Amino acid sequence: MALMRCPACGNQVSSNATTCPQCGHPLKKGGGGLTFWGVVGAIIVAVIIISVVG
């Protein structure tokens, strides 16, 4: 676990934190891309739909 500075208040926070515990500023952007399990889930849903329709 590394420490980094909050861009809003300068407080040192864990690199694993999603928000600064001092000021609440968001530190990580979420939902920006597909995760491995998101892709796997999409493939499973597509296979099920193709099996039902075809």
Q: What is the rounded average pLDDT of the residues 33-40? A: 82
**Residue ranges per domain, the chain?**
3-53
Instruction: With a cut of 90, say whether residue 31 has pLDDT above it.
Output: no
DSSP state, residue 27: -
Instruction: With a cut of 60, say whether residue 18 has pLDDT above it.
Output: yes
Q: What is the rounded average pLDDT of the residues 17-42? A: 83
- pLDDT, residue 13, reads 94
- pTM for the full predicted model: 0.49
Tokens 């861009």 belong to residue: 7
- pLDDT, residue 30, reads 56
Amino acid making up residue 48: I
CA distance 4 to 35: 24
Most confident of 25-29, 32-36, 49-53: 49-53
